[in-house]
């Protein structure tokens, strides 16, 4: 279909203006993150002590659950591989600071690395699983809508980055830190720590970008950023995108929470509702406080049937 016959306008329809091509440093904090990423590479095939994973100590049910858990993580990371190029296109179309475009070339590679290491973990536990057992769970793990937002010229880039990085990835980071603390299996913990090393930079990128942009945003634009963050928390995070116990009750959600519990009982990398709930609540509170202090926006209190009161 040609652009002329398309009924949906995307950022791809906006004429590209690449020249003059400026590669000077505009956001030093992001340029430093780019250099840190290039000098702190790791290899999923040889930087994890895979030989130390002894699966003979686990029951068949635990092994199947752990296979599903790590396969599910690979599905999510795989989705991020296509998310990064979509944002890269947006950066180029809007002629954003070169520091951002440089950093995202590495971010794409890092997401691919995360998918690979999760795939390898699932394979060693008995075999990678290619798709969810229940088709209704596919929507929960497939996407959080960022690729569509990134290509939508009506959604400000600041709103996309605030929602994706300063909200969703910050929550994921806090959960990763929690997982590392409670996971006794040496290999599973190594995998989690390796991914988290990269996620630290991903989160820092978002705050550095927003710090460079917020002073130039109007009240209306800041309200758009606030709306994007609220949508991400209410429609994505509280719908079970990262944590299955938050998903609406049903056969798929119950199956996934059972997978999480069996994997946690085996010490192979997951967590459970009673342990993760206070981490999630504290994460949302921290994000709300940081956005108020840094950007002057005030996120509302949220509600969820699995969480007592407002948080």
Who has greater pLDDT, 3 or 224?
224
pLDDT of residue 253: 87
> 136 falls in which pLDDT band (50, 70, 90)?
low
pLDDT of residue 141: 46
The closest of 94, 92, 88, 121 to 106, measured between CA atoms, is: 88
| Lowest mean pLDDT across 37-51, 245-259, 264-278 | 245-259
* Model confidence at 22: pLDDT above 50: yes
pLDDT tens profile 59-100: 999 999 999 999 999 998 988 888 888 899 899 888 899 999
CB atoms within 10 A of CB 162: 30
Residue with tokens 């299996």: 185
Is the Cβ–Cβ distance between 60 and 134 less than 8 Å? no
pLDDT tens profile 139-193: 544 455 677 777 787 888 999 999 999 999 999 999 999 999 999 999 999 999 9
Beta bridge partners of residue 307, listed in sequence order: 304
Instruction: Taking residues 20-41, report their average pLDDT.
Output: 93
Percent of the chain with pLDDT over 90: 75
Distance CA 267, CA 213 (A): 42
pLDDT tens profile 192-232: 999 999 999 999 999 999 999 999 999 999 999 999 999 99
pLDDT tens profile 110-122: 999 999 999 999 9
Alpha-carbon distances of 183 from 31, 165, 256, 267, rounded to whole Å: 34, 25, 19, 5
Alpha-carbon distances of 121 from 65, 134, 203, 270, rounded to whole Å: 12, 22, 25, 13
Q: Where are the alpha helices (DSSP H) in the chain?
A: 28-39, 60-93, 98-124, 138-142, 146-150, 157-163, 170-182, 186-213, 219-231, 251-266, 273-295
The whole-model pTM stands at 0.89
Phi, psi of 284 (to 5 degrees): -60, -40
* Of the options 1.10.1740.10, 1.10.3720.10, 2.40.50.140, 1.20.1260.10, the CATH number for the domain spanning 59-295: 1.20.1260.10
Q: Where are the domains of the chain?
A: 59-295
Distance CA 155, CA 198 (A): 27
Phi, psi of 211 (to 5 degrees): -60, -35
Question: Residue 196 corresponds to which tokens in the numbers above?
Answer: 């988290």
> 1 falls in which pLDDT band (50, 70, 90)?
very low
Distance CA 208, CA 28 (A): 9
Over the chain, what is the mean pLDDT?
90
pLDDT of residue 6: 45
């Amino acid at each position: 279909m040609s652009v002329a016959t398309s009924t949906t306008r995307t950022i791809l329809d906006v004429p590209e203006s690449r020249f003059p091509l400026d590669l000077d440093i505009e956001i030093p904090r992001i340029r430093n993150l780019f250099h840190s990423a290039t000098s702190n590479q790791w290899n999923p095939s040889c930087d994890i002590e895979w030989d130390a994973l002894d699966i003979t100590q686990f029951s068949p049910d635990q092994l199947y659950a752990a296979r599903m858990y790590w396969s599910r993580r690979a599905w999510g990371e795989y989705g991020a591989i296509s998310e990064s190029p979509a944002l890269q296109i947006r950066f180029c179309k809007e002629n954003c600071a070169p520091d951002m475009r440089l950093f995202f070339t590495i971010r794409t590679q890092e997401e691919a690395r995360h998918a690979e290491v999760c795939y390898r973990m699932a394979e060693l536990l008995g075999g990678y699983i290619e798709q969810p057992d229940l088709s209704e769970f596919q929507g929960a793990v497939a996407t959080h809508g960022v690729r569509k937002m990134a290509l939508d010229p009506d959604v400000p880039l600041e709103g996309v980055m605030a929602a994706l990085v300063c909200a969703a990835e910050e929550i994921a980071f806090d959960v990763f830190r929690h997982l590392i603390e409670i996971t006794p299996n040496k290999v599973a913990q190594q995998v989690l720590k390796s991914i988290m090393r990269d996620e630290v930079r991903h989160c820092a990128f978002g705050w550095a970008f927003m710090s460079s942009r917020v002073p130039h945003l109007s009240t209306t634009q800041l309200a758009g950023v606030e709306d994007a963050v609220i949508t991400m928390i209410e429609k994505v995070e509280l719908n079970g995108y990262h944590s299955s116990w938050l998903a609406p009750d049903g056969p798929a959600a119950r199956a996934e929470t059972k997978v999480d519990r069996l994997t946690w009982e085996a010490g192979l990398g997951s967590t459970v509702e009673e342990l993760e709930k206070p981490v999630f609540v504290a994460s949302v509170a921290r994000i709300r406080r940081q956005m108020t202090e840094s950007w002057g926006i005030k996120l509302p209190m949220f509600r969820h049937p699995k969480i007592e009161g407002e948080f």
